[in-house]
């Protein structure tokens, strides 16, 4: 196995268990190491530090997946990692309440660049870079060994792949995959479009926020903006909302949202479905019309160079939402942009409120859900921010 020496001045993050090593941290980087090639990191004094895989198309030259010098990288390695991730979830996720959750959360589960989501007996795999993509076959075999699934589907279409000029990879890896998979969550059922839906088919990371929403929704007029397949809409209706307006630019998403309302036997006459750009919809909506507005947009900031532009986008849409909320109403504002930290997100909300001359009070702050654990050293993974705010 290739040994790479880490510069003395770059030892801190590696020893602190940060899972990335940038190319400038390597002493005398050899040529022609293939992406995905297992490497050993050693200090300038020759001491073992960690194992990882090389990724030649990125500034992140090595992604660390082991601190055991004797660990062999083979199918058993991936089987152990996947089993360990599953055991962690089983401790804290009651499968009587949900059969859909994130099984592997990349670096945070010691499988950097890899996402695996579980939807009942079906699995979705995402490879975010060339390095982990090399190991896709062994990862698939390990999933089969651990779960004996009905189907495994690849959705390697995340934005991160564009950095390495990687094309999208999508298709069946094993078994079969129906057009829609039915899951359950907190007593509700949802139809999931694994093949063509957003992310891997459902926003698993919002499960706890959907549940938290129920305490605010009773007897309220609700707007679920960027509603996708209607997750928040189902919870709001079940909590006794007076009415729910689901808004999304995608007709296919709205059609799926309608089906999810139906299979949960909720009252369709309490729901309005609107296919429109949310920005336009909010701009044209009546002032102080809703008691509760949910803003769960796609990431406005996918590139560090566009942080200011993205913040302005969040600011405008939150400002429009605040204008449309009644006195003593609720705004649930979310951001899944990893490049927008919590402090800047909060400051953005304060500016949006200031422009409308209204007060926002944060009632709850929620972040990644329990099936999306974060390594303490890996702050880059803390992408999701969801604030429940009272509007004066």
Contacts of 137 by beta carbon, 8 Å cutoff, 6+ apart: none
- Interval 61-90: pLDDT, tens: 999 999 999 999 999 999 999 999 999 999
Does residue 38 register a pLDDT over 90?
yes
Beta strand pairing call for 100-105 and 221-225? unpaired
The ranges assigned to domains in the chain are 2-66, 75-182, 203-391
For residue 366, the tally of other CB atoms under 10 A from its CB is 17
Q: How far is CA 177 from CA 65, 117, 193, 199, 255, in A?
A: 30, 14, 10, 16, 20
Q: Which of the four pLDDT bands, split at 50, 70 and 90, describes residue 194? A: very high
Residue length, the chain?
392
Contacts of 163 by beta carbon, 8 Å cutoff, 6+ apart: 57, 58
Q: Which of the four pLDDT bands, split at 50, 70 and 90, describes residue 158? A: confident
Q: Work out the average pLDDT over 216-222.
A: 98
CATH class of 2-66: mainly beta
Spatial separation of the C-alpha atoms in residues 185 and 231, rounded to whole Å: 10
Spatial separation of the C-alpha atoms in residues 177 and 194, rounded to whole Å: 8
What is the CATH number assigned to the segment(s) 203-391?
3.40.50.150
Instruction: Decide: residue 196, CB within 10 A, 0-12 exposed, 13-18 middle, 19+ buried.
Output: exposed
pLDDT of residue 30: 86
What 8-state DSSP symbol labels residue 297?
P
Does residue 137 register a pLDDT over 90?
yes
Q: Which of the four pLDDT bands, split at 50, 70 and 90, describes residue 275? A: very high
- Interval 307-329: pLDDT, tens: 889 999 999 999 999 999 999 99
The backbone torsions φ and ψ at residue 251, rounded to the nearest 5 degrees and listed phi first, read: -65, -40
Closest among 237, 391, 243, 241 to 329, alpha carbons compared: 391
pLDDT of residue 304: 78
pLDDT of residue 101: 98
Spatial separation of the C-alpha atoms in residues 242 and 366, rounded to whole Å: 25
pLDDT of residue 363: 98
pLDDT of residue 56: 82
* Pair 102, 204: CB distance under 8 Å: yes
Q: Work out the average pLDDT over 187-210.
A: 97
Q: How far is CA 369 from CA 78, 192, 206, in A?
A: 24, 19, 7
- What CATH homologous superfamily does 75-182 map to? RNA methyltransferase domain (HRMD) like (3.30.750.80)
Does residue 57 register a pLDDT over 80?
no
**Coil, strand, or helix at residue 129?**
coil
The interaxial angle of helices 231-238 and 207-217, nearest 10 deg, is 40
Share of the chain above pLDDT 90, in %: 90
pLDDT of residue 163: 77
């Amino acid at each position: 196995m290739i040994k790479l020496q880490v510069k003395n001045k770059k030892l801190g993050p590696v020893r602190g268990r940060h899972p990335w090593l940038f190319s400038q941290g390597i002493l005398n980087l050899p040529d022609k190491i293939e992406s995905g090639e297992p490497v050993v990191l050693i200090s300038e004094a020759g001491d073992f530090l960690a194992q990882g895989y090389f990724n030649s198309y990125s500034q992140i030259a090595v992604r660390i997946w082991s601190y055991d010098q004797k660990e062999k990288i083979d199918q058993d390695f991936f089987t152990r990692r996947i089993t360990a991730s599953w055991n962690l979830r089983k401790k804290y996720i009651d499968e009587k309440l949900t059969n859909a959750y994130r099984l592997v959360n990349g670096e945070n589960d010691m499988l950097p660049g890899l996402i695996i989501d579980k939807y009942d007996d079906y699995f979705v795999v995402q490879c975010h870079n060339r390095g982990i993509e090399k190991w896709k076959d062994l990862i698939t075999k390990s999933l089969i060994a651990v779960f004996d699934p009905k189907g495994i589907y690849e959705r390697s279409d995340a934005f991160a792949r564009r950095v390495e000029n990687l094309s999208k990879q999508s298709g069946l890896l094993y078994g079969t995959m129906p057009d829609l998979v039915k899951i359950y969550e907190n007593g509700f059922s949802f139809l999931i479009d694994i093949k063509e839906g957003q992310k891997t088919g459902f926003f698993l990371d919002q499960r706890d926020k959907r549940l938290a929403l129920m305490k605010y929704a009773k007897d309220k007029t609700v707007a679920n903006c960027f509603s996708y397949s209607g997750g928040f809409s189902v919870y709001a209706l079940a909590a006794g909302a007076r009415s729910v307006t689901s808004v999304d630019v995608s007709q296919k998403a709205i059609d799926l949202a309608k089906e999810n309302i139906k299979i949960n036997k909720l009252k369709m006459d309490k729901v309005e479905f609107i296919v429109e750009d949310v920005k336009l919809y909010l701009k044209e909506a009546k002032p102080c019309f809703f008691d509760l507005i949910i803003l769960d947009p796609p990431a406005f900031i996918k590139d560090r160079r566009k942080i200011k532009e993205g913040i302005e986008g969040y600011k405008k849409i939150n400002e429009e939402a605040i204008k449309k909320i009644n006195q003593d109403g609720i705004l649930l504002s979310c951001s899944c942009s990893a490049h927008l930290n919590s402090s800047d997100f909060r400051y953005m909300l304060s500016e949006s409120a200031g422009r409308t001359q209204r007060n926002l009070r944060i009632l709850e702050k929620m972040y990644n859900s329990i099936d999306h654990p974060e390594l303490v050293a890996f702050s880059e993974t803390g992408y999701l921010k969801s604030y429940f705010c009272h509007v004066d």
